[in-house]
Structure 1
Amino acid sequence: MKNNKCIIYIILFVVNVCFAQNNAAKRPLTEIIEGVEQKFNVKFSYAFDDVANVFIEQPNPEFSLEQTITYLNSKTLLNFKTLDNRYITVSVIEKAISICGFVFASENREPLFGASVVVNNSKKGAITNEGGKFQLDEVPLNTMITISYLGFNSRQFPVQQFFSEIASCKQIVLVENKEELNQVLITKFLTTGFQKLIDGSTVLNTKAFGILPGLTDPDILQSIQTLPGVESTDESIANINVRGGTNDQNLMLWDGIKMYHSGHFFGLISAYNPNLTNKVVVTKNGTSSEFSDGVSSTINMFTKNELTGKFSGGAGANLINADVFFEIPITKKIEFHISGRRSITDVFNTPTYDNYFDRSFQDSDIKTNSENIENQTTTSDFVFYDYTAKILFDLNDNHKFRANVIGIDNNLDYYESITNNNETKSKLSNLAQKNLGFGGHWVANWNSKISSHFTAYYSKYNVDANDYRIESDQLLTQTNEVLETGFKFNTYYKPNDFLTILNGYQFNETGILNETSVTKPLYDRAKKDVLLNHAFYTQAQYNKGATFFRIGVRANYFQKFQKSIIEPRLNVRQKISNQFAVKLEGEFKNQSATQIVDFQDDFLGVENRRWILANEQTIPISTSKQGSFGIDFNQNNLNIDITGFYKTVEGITASNQGFYNNFQYINAIGDYTAKGLEFLANKTAVKYSTWVSYTYSINDYKFETFTPSIFPNNVDIRHSVSIGFNYDVLENLKVSVGGMWRSGQPYTSPVEGNETVRSGNVTYVNYGAPNSKNLDEFKRLDASLSYKFDVYQSIKASLKIGVLNLMNTKNIINRYYKVNPNDSESTIQINNASLSLTPNISFRVDF
C-alpha cells in the first residue's frame, strides 16, 4: 500500500513539474499586451473576459508592430485589428481560417483517397487527394466539419481544433465501419473513385471519380471496361461481354430496379446519369445469393441514400448532351434528389456527334438506303434524354423510407423522299426506345442485431418502330415490350461484429410482348409470355482478421413450368501473409429472359435485339456454373491480382448469339465454355497511378445439331491488353493516357470458289467453317485532361478534354458478306468500322 502511495506521489510531482515548465515558456496575454503598449506607444481596447486565461509565448523582440499583430492573430482565437497608428482593438468575432489535414485508415495508416470533407450547414467542401490531404479556405471558427469515406465511420471536428500553434496539417484517422457488409480492401484502384472490395467485386464511386483515358465524364459502363475480363467487342456499352458472355447476361440494377436497357446513342453512351449515382458495384463471380437472373455478371447501381441537410447541385455540358442535378432538403427528415440529362444534337451538330452517328448507323437503313437508292434524299433527327428523382424520408434513426423513379428515352425520326418523273413521295419512319422504372425501399433496424430491408419495383421497357419503305409502299411496325414487377424482403442477423446472416424471399412477374405487322403483303404476328418466379435464399458472411468467407444458397421456383433450380454460392478470401492472399469463388446462376438477334427483321437496322422469355421448349432457362481461383499481392500501393476462371453456360440458343453465317436462320439449343486467366498490376502514388491488365481466354460454342458442333464463340477474344497512366501535373490538373490491344474477333467467310448457293429462286451466301477466321487486331490509344478550379467559394468547376482513338487507327469490329446484286455468284464483303478520332469536351459546375 505504501509503495502505491509513493508511485502516486511521484506521478503527481512529475506532472506538476512538466506543467510548470510548460507554463514557464508562456506568459499571460494581458502582460504581453502591456509590454506591446509600452514598446510601441499604442493602446489596446478589449474586454477583460476575452483575454483572461489566454497564455502564449513571448513575441520575438525584433518584431515590428505589424509583425507583432500578425503573430498575436496567429497564436490566439482573437482578432487584433489596427484602427490607426495609436489604437488597436481586440475582439471575438466569427473569424474564418484556412484548415488542412491528412486522412488515414486506422488499420494500416494508408491515405484515404477521395474522402469527403464537408463544412456542416454550408455548401463548402473538399475531396482528399491521392495522399489523403485536403485544404479548405475561409472556414468559420464556430463551425464543425464532417469527414466521411465509404466503408469507414464518419467523424466530426470543431474547426477550432485545426487552429494550432504549430503550422502543420491535422492528422485524422478513420476507423473501418464493421457494419459494412462489403468492406473496402483497396481504397484507390486504377484511379480515385475506384475501389476493390474484400469479396472481389469492384466499386466505382462516381462522386470521387478521378480520370480515365478518353473519358470526360464518369460514364459508368465505359469505366468498368478498364477491368480485366470485361470487354466490348464493338466498342458499345450495349454489348458488354464479361468473361465471354453476351450483354443480356449482365444483371443491371438501378436502386434495386431491374433495367432492360443500358445505353444512349444505341450503345455509345451510358444511359445512367453518374451525377446522382453514388456508387456502382461490379461482381463477376461469387455473387451474393440475394441476386440471380444474370449468368455473367451483376452491375448494381446505387444513388445517394443519406440525407445531407443542405441544398446542393450541379450542371454540365459536353459536345453530346447537357445535364443538371439538385439535392433539395425539404425538412430535417425529408430530402428530394432530381437529375436530368438531354442531348443537344438537335440544336447543333459537333464533330463528336458526327462520329457517333456514323459509328451507330453505319450498318442501318439510314445509311444504306441513302447510298443505294437513286433520286432519294434522307434526313434524320436523333434525341435522347434521361431523368431520375428520389424522395428520402427518415422517420427516425431506425426506420428509413426511399422512393425513386428513372426514365430513359431514345427517339429517332427518319425522313426519306424519292423523286420520280417530277413526283416526290415523302414518308417518316420512327424508332422509340424507352425504359421506365419505379422503386420503393423500407430499411428497418429492429435492434442492434436484427434489421430488415423491403424493396418493391416496377420496370417497363419498350421498343417501337414504324418503318415505311417508299420503294415498295410497305409499312413495317414492330414492338418489343417488357413489363416486370417484383419485391424482395431481406432480414439480417448480426450476432457479433464478424458474422452476418441473411435470409430473404424474392418474387418476380415478367411479361414480354413481341409484335410485328406488315402491309403489302398483309402479315401480323403477336406473342406474349408471362413468367412468375419465387426465390428463397440464405447466406452467412464472416469477416475477421485475415479470413473472409461468404457461403449461401438460392432456391428458385418457376411456377409456370413447376421447375426448381438450386444455386449454391461461395466466396472465400484468406490472407496468408501481410502481402499475399488467396481467393476462391464459385456460383450457380440462372436466367429466364434473354435477347434474340435478327439481322433481317430488325428495327430500322439500328436495334436488332428483342427480349424474349424462356418457354422450356425451344427456349430453355439458361444456367451457368462458374469457378475461379486467384492470388492477390498488395504492398506499398502495388496491387497485383492473378485470377483463373472456368465458366459454362447452358441453354443458349442460336438466335440469341447473332450469327452471321449458315446458322443465322436455324433454331438450335447449345452452350458455351469460357476459361482463361486475368492479370492486373496497379501501382499508385501521391501524384500518379499506372496499371497494366491482360486477359487470356478461350471461348467455344457447342451445338450438337451443327456441323461442326464445337467452334469459337462470336466474342472469343484470346488476348486482350490494357495499359494506363494517370499523373497529377498540379493539384488541380490531371492527365491520363491509356491504350488497348486485343486480338481480332472471329468471323465466317464464304467458301472460296463457291461463294453462293441457290435455293429455289433465292441465292444465299455459302459460308465456310464457322468462325474459322479472325479480324485484324484491335488497337486504340486514348487520352484525357482534367482541370478543376473554384469559381466562387462554394462553387467549384471542372473542365475536361478527352480524345478517343487518338491515333485515328482504322479498326474493323465486324465483318459479314452479302450476295453481290450485280453478280449472284459472288459476294460483297461488309466491314463495320470502329470510332475514328473522336474528341469531346465537358464543363461542369457544382455547388
Structure 2
Amino acid sequence: MVNKKTTFLFLFLFSFAIKAQDIITKTLLKDVLVEIEKKHQVTFTYSDKDLESVYIAKPDDNLSLSETINYLESVTIFNFKVLDNRFITVSYLKKKIPVCGTIVDSNTLEPLVLATILVNNTSNGTTSNTNGKFNINSVPANANITISYVGYKPIILPAKDLFSQNLCKEIYLESLSEELSEVIISNFLTTGLQKNIDGSTVLKTKKFGILPGLIEPDILKTIKVLPGVESVNESVSNINVRGGTNDQNLMLWDGIKMYHTSHFFGLISAYNPYLTEKATVTKNGTSTKFSDGVSSTVNMQTNNKITDTFSGGAGFNLLSADAFLQAPITKKLGIHASARRSYTDFFDTPTYDKYFSRSFQENSIASNKENEASTDFYFYDYSFKVLYDINKNHSLRANLISIKNNLEYTEEYTNNGSTVEENSNLKQENLGANISWNANWSPKFSTEFSTFISDYTINSSDFNRETDQFQTQFNKVLESEIRLITNHHFSDVFQLTNGAVFNEIGVANKTTVNAPTFSKSVKEVLLKSALFSELVYRKNNTYARVGFRANYFHDFNKLIIEPRINLRQQLYNSLFLKLEGEFKNQTTAQKIDFQDNFLGIEKRRWILADNDKTPIIKSKQVSFGAEYSKNNLQIDLTGFYKFVNGITVANQGFYNNVQTLNSIGDYKIKGVEFLINKKTEKFSSWLSYTFAENNYTFKTFTPDTFPSSLDITHSFSSAINYNITNNFKLSLGAILRSGTPYTKPVKDNETIQDGNRVIVNYDTPNKERHSNFFRINASGSYNFNLSKNLKSTIRVGFTNISNRKNIINTYYVVDENNTDNAKEINTYALPFTPNISFRVNF
C-alpha cells in the first residue's frame, strides 16, 4: 500500500514538473535582437540605455522577418523601422505609456502606504494605496520616476521598467535609519518566516512558502521547525518549548487568552491560518506586556486594517473545508470573517483513517470496532472581526472566535434478549471575545485600551460496559481581563511603555460516578492585577529592552516582581550578540487524565493555583548567543538555562507509581540550540540541532532527581526547499531525535497487591528510553491563476514517508490472563499519511 501511495506522489509531482516546463520564460530584448540578426542577416541600431532591463518572450522561430518585427512592436514600446534590407533602427514608438508597481519594505516585505511616486520634470504623480500599489496611465516613455517614502531611501527608475504591459512588479525600498532594523532575517528557513530583533520568530501566513509535510501554514505545526521547540507525542496541543509542558505556553489570539489549541486531539491547529495574519513566537526575554506562559508566548494576530477591496478565499483538504472574507463596508468600517468545518462525520478519507487510528490506540473504541459500535467525530472553528476607524487617530476593533471538537461513541449490545444502546461523548469548546480602542494622541504618545473574555469548556461522559459504570467529568475556565497600555516616544532612540491590568479567572471541575456513587465539585476564583513598565533603546548597533512586571494576587495577598531583559549588540556588519532573561509566573495548569479514562483518550483538565497543593508556577530563564548573517547564510548558536518550580505530579504526565501522589517539585533544563540556514534564489536549506538535559526534582521521591518525561537529549532537523519555478515548489525534510524516558515494572515483581486490587509495580521513574524517533516528510506546491483575479494553489503533503513505527509513549496494565504479569501498551506516532489541499483566493 505504501508503494502505491509513494508512486502516486512521484507521478503527481512529475506531472507538475512537465507542466512547469511549459511556463514561458522571458529574455533580455538585447539578446533577442542578437539572435534575430544572426538568423536574418540584419543589423539593429539602438541606444543601449533605452533597452536596459527590457525583457520579452522570444518570438517563434518560424516567423518571417516582417512577422518578427510586428511581434516585437506588439510587446514593446519601441518602433522598428527597416531602412533597407539590412539595417533596422529601434526608437520609442509610444510617446506615453501606463506604469504600475507595488512598493514594499525590503526587510519586512510589508506594503508601504501613501508612498510618493513622481514623474521627474513634471507635475504628474500619485501615491500608493493600502496595498502599496500605484498606477499612472500616461507617462513619457523616456521619463524617469522617483519613488520616495519618509524614513526610506528614494529610488529612481526608468518609466519603461514599470511599463504595465510587462506586469506590475514589486519595488523594494530600504530604510534610511542607521538603527538596527526591526527584522533581522526577512525570509527565515522559508518565505513567510522572519526573525525579529528581539529574538522572536514571526510567521506571516499570507507569505508562507512551503515546509516538509505541511499542506497549509498551520501555525502550531510550523513553529515546531524552530530549534528548542519539540512535541514528544507529535501533537500541536502538546508543544514543548525548551523542556516545558504544553500548558506553559501562553496562547493569544488577537489579545484573547486561549485554553484550547487543537482539533482532532492535537493533530491539527485550531486557528484558521488564512485570516490569522501573523503569529509571533517568543521563547525568552518576553515583553512585560505578557504574563503567564513560563515557557513561551505565541501571539497570533489577524489583519488590523480596513481593506479597500473585497478579498477572500476558500479551500479544502482531506479533513475539512474552510472559507474567509475581508470586506470593506465603508471607508471607515470593515469586517473580516472565517469558518472551517470537518466533514469526518459524513465520510472517511485516507487522512482521516490515519488520524483516527493514531488517536484511538489500544482503547475502548479500537477494541470494539468489530462490535455494534459507531463513532461520530467532527470539529469546527469560526472567527469574526469588526474594524471601525473613528478618525485617522482613533480606531475600534472587536473580535470573536469559537473552537469546538465533538466526539460521540455509541455501542449496542444484547441484554436478556433486548438491545441496549450506551452513549459516551467528549466535547471541547473555547469561545473568546475582545474589544480594543487604539488612540494616537500625538505623534509621540498613544494608548491602547482593551478587554477580553475567554470561556473554555470540556464536558464528557463515559460508559464502561465491562464494569457497568457511568461517569462524567466537567471542566470550565472563565477568564476576563481589562488592560490599559501607554506608549511614549521620547525621541528617535527611546520608547517607554507602561501598563495596568486587572484579571479575574474562575475554574470549575465536577466529577460524578454511578457505581459506587460518587460526586465531587470544585470551583475556584482568583483575582490578580499587575503594573508593568519597559524601556526600549535603539540606536546605531544596539538594541535594548528592559522592564519589570509587578503582579499582585488578591486572594493570596501576594506580590511577585518579574524583571525582564532583552539585549542585542551588532559587533560587525554580519555578527550579533544577544542576551535574554526573564522571570515569569502562571496560575493555571493542566491535570492529565490517562488512557484508562474516557474512551481511552488522554484528556487534560485545567486547574487553578490555590497557593497550597497547587502553587503558582514560577520560572527563571536566561539565554546567551551569537548570530551570523551574510550573503544569505545565517548561523545561530544559543545557550540557555531555565528553572521552573511549583510544578505538580498531576500535570507532568507520569506513567509510574508516582502518578497518583500529591507532590510539588521543579525541573531544570540547560542546553544549546544551533541552526545553520543557507538560501539562494532557488532553494533554502537548513540544519538544526538542540542538546538539552532536563531533570525533575521531587524531594518526596526516591530518587528525588530523575529525567523529565519531556527530556529529549539530542534533536536534529534538516530540510531543503527547492523552487523549480516561481509557481512550483518542493520541500523534503527529516527529523531525528532521542527517545523519551519511560518507566518499566520491577523485573520478576511486575505487580503488587494494593488493598483489594492488583496494580503495576513500577521501577525507578523514567529509567528507560524509547528508541530514537525518525521521520521523513515531503511537500509539493503549485500556484496557478484560474482568471485574472482568481489565484489557486494545490499542495500535497506526506508525513512519515518511510512508514517507520515510532513509539511515543509506553505504559503498563495488569495482564487479565495472569495478574502476576504486566502488559505493555505502546502508542505510536502517525504512520505514512498523505494529505492534499486546494485553495482559491481572490
Tell me how far 1:684 sits from its aligned partner: 1.2
In structure 2, C-alpha distance between the alignment counterparts of 1:624 and 1:791, rounded to whole Å: 52
Query: Could you tell me how far 1:448 is from its partner in structure 2?
Result: 0.9
Equivalent residue runs for 1:167-316 within 5 Å: 172-176=171-175, 183-316=182-315
Alignment partner, residue 14 of structure 1 = none
Match of 2:120 in 1: none
User: Quick one: which amino acid aligns to residue 484 of structure 1?
Assistant: E
Q: Identity across aligned pairs (percent)?
A: 51
Report Cα offsets for 1:305-364 as digits up to 9, x if no partner: 011111011000000110000011100000000000000112221110000011112144
Q: How far does residue 755 in structure 1 lie from its aligned partner after superposition?
A: 0.8
Counterpart in 1 of 2:520? 525
Task: State the match for 1:397 in structure 2.
Answer: 392
Q: How many residue pairs align between the two structures?
A: 746
Aligned to 1:840: 835
Query: What's the offset of the Cα at 1:574?
Result: 0.4
In structure 2, what is the Cα distance between the partners aligned to 1:270 and 1:168? 37
Name the CA shift for 1:363/1:246 in 2 (closer, same or farther; >3 Å). farther
* Residue 55 of structure 2 is aligned to residue 60 of structure 1: no
Whether 1:788 aligns to 2:783 is: yes
Does the 8 A contact of 1:478 with 1:603 survive in 2? no
Question: Structure 1 residues 410-419 or 702-711, which shifts more?
Answer: 410-419
Other-structure match for 1:806: 801
2:566 corresponds to: 571
TM-score using structure 2 length: 0.84
Q: State the Cα distance separating 1:182 from its structure 2 match.
A: 8.5
Change in 2 beyond 3 A, CA 1:137/1:663? closer
Deviations 1:504-548 (A, max 9, x none): 011110000000112132211100000011000000011122100
1:651 aligns with 2:646: yes
User: Partners of 1:229 and 1:720 in 2: how far apart?
Assistant: 9
Partner of 1:757: 752
User: Residues 795 and 837 of structure 2 are in contact (CA less than 8 Å); yes or no, is this contact kept in structure 1?
Assistant: yes
Paired residue type of 1:191: T
Distance 1:625 1:138 in 2: 50
Q: 1:292 to 1:157 in 2, by over 3 A?
A: farther
Q: Which amino acid aligns with 2:203?
A: L
SS at match of 2:786: strand
**How far apart, in 1, do the equivalents of 2:80 and 2:276 lie?**
53
Deviation at 1:606, TM superposition (A): 2.1
CA spacing shift, 1:493–1:735, aligned 2, 3 Å: same
Change (3 A) 1:452 1:425: same
Match of 1:141 among 134, 137, 143: 137
Query: Compared with structure 1, are the counterparts of its residues 320 and 167 closer, same or farther at alpha carbon in structure 2 (3 Å cutoff)?
Result: closer
Write the mapping of 1:600-749 to structure 2, written as runs, cut at 5 A: 602-749=597-744
Does residue 514 (structure 1) correspond to residue 514 (structure 2)? The answer is: no
Unaligned runs of 5+ in 1: 1-21, 27-39, 41-55, 79-94, 106-111, 121-135
Q: CA deviation at 1:414?
A: 0.6
Cα distance between partner residues in 2 of 1:294 and 1:456: 19
1:76 aligns with 2:95: yes
Give CA deviations for 1:547-592 in whole Å, capped at 9, x if unaligned: 0010000000000000000000000010111121111100000010
Tell me how far 1:607 sits from its aligned partner.
4.3
Equivalence for 1:446: 441
2:425 is aligned to 430
Contact 1:102–1:169 under 8 Å retained in 2: no
Kindly tell me: are residues 163 and 502 of structure 1, through their superposed partners in 2, closer, same or farther at Cα, counting changes over 3 Å?
A: closer
In structure 1, give the amino acid aligned to 2:730: V
**TM-score for both structures, normalised by structure 1:** 0.83
1:547 aligns with 2:542: yes
Runs of 4+ off more than 4 Å: 56-59, 70-73, 99-104, 112-120, 136-140, 151-171, 177-182
Q: Residues 492 and 249 of structure 1: is their aligned pair in 2 closer, same or farther, counting only changes over 3 Å?
A: same
Structure 1 residues 810-829: aligned runs within 5 Å: 810-829=805-824
Q: How does 1:465-544 map to 2 (within 5 A)?
A: 465-544=460-539
**Which region of structure 1 is more displaced relative to structure 2, 494-503 or 638-647?**
494-503
Give the whole-Å Cα distance in 2 for the aligned partners of 1:696 and 1:433.
36
The whole-number CA distance in structure 1 between the counterparts of 2:218 and 2:596 is 31
Retained in 2: the 8 A contact 1:140–1:159? no
3-state SS of the aligned residue for 1:751?
A: coil
How far the C-alpha of 1:165 sits from its partner, in A, is 12
Counterparts in 2 of 1:460 and 1:179: CA distance versus 1, 3 Å: farther
Q: Is the CA contact (8 Å cut-off) linking 2:250 and 2:296 kept in structure 1?
A: yes
Deviation at 1:396, TM superposition (A): 1.2
Q: Choose from 413, 416, 419 the match for 2:414.
A: 419
Q: CA deviation at 1:378?
A: 1.4
Q: Is the 8 A contact 1:355 1:836 kept in 2?
A: yes
What is aligned with 1:4?
A: none
User: Alpha carbons of 1:448 and 1:816: their partners in 2 closer, same or farther (altered >3 Å)?
Assistant: same
CA distance in 2, matches of 1:417, 1:748: 37
Q: Deviations over 1:759-784 (max 9, x none)?
A: 22211111111101100000000000
CA distance in 2, matches of 1:567, 1:221: 27
Deviations 1:192-213 (A, max 9, x none): 0000000000000001000000
For structure 2, which runs of at least 5 residues remain unmatched after alignment?
1-45, 51-65, 67-76, 116-131, 140-145
Which residue identity does 1:227 align to in structure 2? Answer: L
Give distance in 2, aligned partners of 1:336 and 1:157: 38
Distance in structure 2 (CA, Å) of the matches to 1:826 and 1:585: 50
Q: Given residue 354 of structure 1, which amino acid in structure 2 is its aligned partner?
A: D
Amino acid at match of 2:235: S
Contact map agreement 1:481 1:513 (CA 8 A) in 2:
yes
SS in 1 for 2:247: helix
Question: Do the aligned residues in 1 keep the contact of 2:794 with 2:838 (CA within 8 Å)?
Answer: yes
Q: 1:446, CA displacement in angstroms?
A: 0.5
How much does 1:183 deviate? 1.3
CA-based RMSD? 3.3
Q: Which residue of 2 aligns with 1:37?
A: none
CA shift for structure 1 position 297? 0.3
**Aligned partner of residue 141 in structure 1, secondary structure:** strand
Cross-structure match for 1:90: none
2:592 is aligned to: 597
CA distance in 2, matches of 1:783, 1:248: 30
Check 1:331–1:624 CA distance in 2 against 1; reply closer, same or farther (3 A cut).
Answer: same
How far residue 418 of structure 1 moved from its aligned partner, in angstroms, is 1.6
Distance 2:761 2:553 in 1: 42
Q: Indicate the SS of the match to 2:655.
A: coil
Quote the Cα distance in structure 2 between the aligned partners of 1:699 and 1:593.
Answer: 22
Preserved CA contact (<8 Å) 1:114 1:192: no
Determine helix, strand or coil for the equivalent of 2:96.
Answer: coil
Give distance in 1, aligned partners of 2:601 and 2:216. 25
Question: What is the identity, as a one-letter code, of the residue corresponding to 1:208?
Answer: K
Alpha-carbon displacement from aligned partner over 1:285-322 (angstroms, at most 9, x marks no partner): 00001111110000000000011111011000000110
Which stretch has the larger CA shift, 157-166 or 722-731? 157-166
Change over 3 Å in CA distance of 1:119–1:626 after alignment to 2: closer
| Structure 2 contact 179–541 (Cα < 8 Å) conserved | no
| Partner secondary structure for residue 195 of structure 1 | strand
1:589 corresponds to which letter in structure 2? K
